[in-house]
């Protein structure tokens, strides 16, 4: 089974996202848990959640990959920004229990000239403050392109964050194909080698989700600009090899390509046609 979907707007609620996913032949999706500009999240409407859960069951959806606001910076130098990150993440994790057992992906953060050591310490400190034994959601660290002082540019950095987190059984990794390519991992010519390295450094059992994107920039550019599937440096052939890689069987693949909903529907259709069970 190929679990594939894209980012959907959450403004109309869970049921609307579920119906839109079905509409474009998706069986997973991503959405922002709250407005990236901050502020509190909308109150959950439990009948909307129930309606979504029914759709999800009827259509055998895979795991959802909720996305934390990208403005969240767990390792900011400013204490107020770190506090917002901690409170927003704790609240998101609580709210996600309405749709239990899914994933919550976040960008580890930017150390803003404090250095990677400080960055790692702050990020794991936040995780130690917000993760609970009771939560059913797995929190995913996203692999990043390494733009500026962005953390998570290497598997080693993610491993260190995981190592310093007490409830590390609640942690996994979301691999973004554009980001790792931009970070210097050659997913085009040596995807198996990249997975071997992931396994050696982090452990493949931590790999829970894939952000499936092409990249506008060459290997190692540290830029992070997504392209449509087949319109970037990664290319359609490599992406087809990735979705068919046996190590990734059953993982949710989320498109974050620059598309409107019709564009996503076309990409999903294209990828399904090029997937073999
Ligand atoms: Fe992301
Ligand atoms: Fe991503
Ligand atoms: Zn990106």
How close is the Cα of 211 to the center of ligand 2, in Å?
Answer: 5
| Neighbour tally for 78: CB within 10 Å | 10
7 is catalytic: no
Using an 8 Å Cβ cutoff, are 82 and 75 in contact?
Answer: yes
How close is the Cα of 126 to the center of ligand 2, in Å?
Answer: 21
14 vs 98: CA distance, rounded Å: 11
pLDDT per position as a tens digit, 106-119? 999 999 999 999 99
In this predicted structure, what is the pLDDT of residue 277?
A: 84
pLDDT per position as a tens digit, 167-196? 999 999 999 999 999 999 999 999 999 999
217 phi and psi angles, rounded to 5 deg = -125, 155
222 vs 246: CA distance, rounded Å: 28
How close is the Cα of 218 to the center of ligand 1, in Å?
Answer: 19
Measuring CA to CA, which residue among 80, 68, 136, 79 is closest to residue 108? Answer: 68
Low-confidence residues of the chain, pLDDT below 70?
38-39
Measuring CA to CA, which residue among 166, 87, 88, 94 is closest to residue 125? Answer: 166
In this predicted structure, what is the pLDDT of residue 37?
A: 73
In this predicted structure, what is the pLDDT of residue 38?
A: 66
């Amino acid at each position: 089974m190929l679990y594939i979907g894209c980012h959907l707007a959450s403004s109309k609620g869970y049921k609307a996202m579920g119906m839109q996913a079905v509409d474009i032949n998706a069986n997973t999706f991503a959405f922002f848990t709250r407005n990236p500009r901050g502020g509190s999240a909308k109150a959950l409407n439990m009948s909307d959640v129930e309606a979504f859960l029914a759709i999800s069951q009827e259509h055998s959806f895979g795991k959802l990959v909720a996305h934390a606001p990208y403005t969240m910076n767990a390792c900011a130098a400013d204490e107020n920004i770190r506090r917002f990150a901690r409170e927003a993440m704790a609240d998101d994790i609580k709210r996600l229990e309405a749709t239990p057992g899914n994933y919550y992906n976040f960008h580890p953060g930017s150390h803003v000239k404090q250095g990677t050591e400080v960055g790692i310490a702050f990020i794991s400190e936040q995780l130690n403050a917000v993760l609970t034994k009771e939560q059913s959601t797995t929190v995913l660290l996203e692999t990043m392109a390494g733009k500026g002082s962005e953390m998570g540019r290497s598997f080693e950095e993610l491993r260190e964050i995981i190592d310093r987190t007490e409830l590390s059984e609640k942690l996994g990794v979301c691999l973004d194909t554009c980001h790792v390519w931009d970070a210097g991992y050659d997913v085009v010519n040596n995807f198996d080698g990249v997975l071997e390295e992931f396994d050696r450094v982090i452990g493949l059992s931590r790999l829970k989700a894939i952000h499936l994107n092409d990249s506008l920039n060459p290997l190692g550019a540290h830029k992070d600009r997504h392209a449509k599937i087949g319109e970037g440096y990664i290319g359609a052939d490599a992406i087809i090899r990735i979705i068919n890689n046996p190590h990734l069987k059953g993982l949710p693949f989320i498109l974050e390509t620059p598309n409107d909903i019709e564009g996503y529907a076309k990409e999903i259709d294209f990828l399904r046609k090029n997937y073999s069970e």
